[in-house]
Amino acid sequence: MDYLLDQLIRTTASTVPDDEALACRHQRVSYGSLDAQVDAMAGALAGADLQRRDRVAIYLSKTVENVVAMFAVARAGGVFVPVNPVLKSSQVGHILRDSGARMLVTTADRYGALGSTMETCPSIELVVLADRPEGSDEPGPGPKVIGWQELLAGPHRDSHRVIDIDIVSILYTSGSTGNPKGVVLSHRNMVDGARSVASYLENHASDRLLAVLPFSFDVGFSQLSTAFCTGGTTVLHDYFLPRDVLKVVEQQEITGITGVPPLWMQLADLEWPERAGSGVRYFANTGGKMPRALLQRLRDHFPNARPYLMYGLTEAFRSTYLPPQEVDRRPDSIGKAIPNAEILVIGDDGKPCAPGEPGELVHRGALVSMGYWNDPE
């Protein structure tokens, strides 16, 4: 049984090390290689004095280094903070300051674009540039800056002891008002979430899941965790045009796609060759209601796929899903509780509502997050 997030990779690597874990453009990374890279980076982070619960912000596009960094921080006993790569420097600065991150993993261009924003983030002591192997900057004001390979070449130490209720990540969600709020997630939150979703999506080792949403979005990250807990492959893809997604679905023989309504609307407008969509066995929607007309167009594009309409929020990862066999009968329903969760509708008196009576939706279970960072109230 895997209790820790990084163990999802290690367990599969111990049984089928040569199976493909990641595909990213022309790169192919096996589970054995990925586990070794995560292990090496975890030791290097510990050697760079990463302390238990230290936050490490990761400001990268969808790359192998991004995945290695997140899972290495988890293995080392730290807390990874994925930063959406499309955010402006002021928004990145808020996340760095609010999280109190000690380390930042990014690229030379992204770090340069942050400019004076870094002067407002005094907690950052070390910046690791994933695309610069040759070494560090000359000493000067601000944090120490080193290359990815230099960090790996430095001292290594054993990771901190970690248990399943320890914090592993902070995901920043914009919510409805004000600055983004940091949702605190434990290893247990993420591992149980992966198992729950993988069970009702019936994920398996032959799946090739398209990671097209940002890792800073819980459902974007779950394309990694659900694949890793079943031994499948995650295909990393940053798209600029909707047609890019069509191409990668066909070329990479994608079997599962999870998206949000704005993305689905763009994809539905494309002309899909039959061979492109015929291999997709499911598509899933979250982050907003799926209009019926849009659903039908997607079914036409993916004739062999089962649609999963899901409801949830970062604070509880995923709450409900509408089984594919109920989509035509109950197209406006948010479905039923996902495995290992209880969903209740509670009235003002604190008691469960009767059928048809409006109330507050309450989610109970292992997927409920630990709260908001720096905002317990």
Instruction: Return the DSSP state at 160.
Output: P
Residues 6+ apart with CB under 8 A from 356: none
Q: Left if phi > 0, otherwise alpha if psi is -120 to 50, otherwise beta: which for 344? A: beta
Secondary structure E strands in the chain: 20-24, 27-30, 55-58, 79-82, 103-106, 126-129, 144-147, 167-173, 181-186, 208-211, 233-236, 256-259, 282-285, 306-311, 320-322, 336-337, 341-346, 360-365, 371-372
Tens digit of pLDDT for each residue in 49-87? 999 999 999 999 999 999 999 999 999 999 999 999 999
Tens digit of pLDDT for each residue in 169-220? 999 987 556 788 999 999 999 999 999 999 999 999 999 999 999 999 999 9
Tens digit of pLDDT for each residue in 80-127? 999 999 999 999 999 999 999 999 999 999 999 999 999 999 999 999
Cα R_g (the chain), whole angstroms: 21
Tokens representing 372 are 């908001």
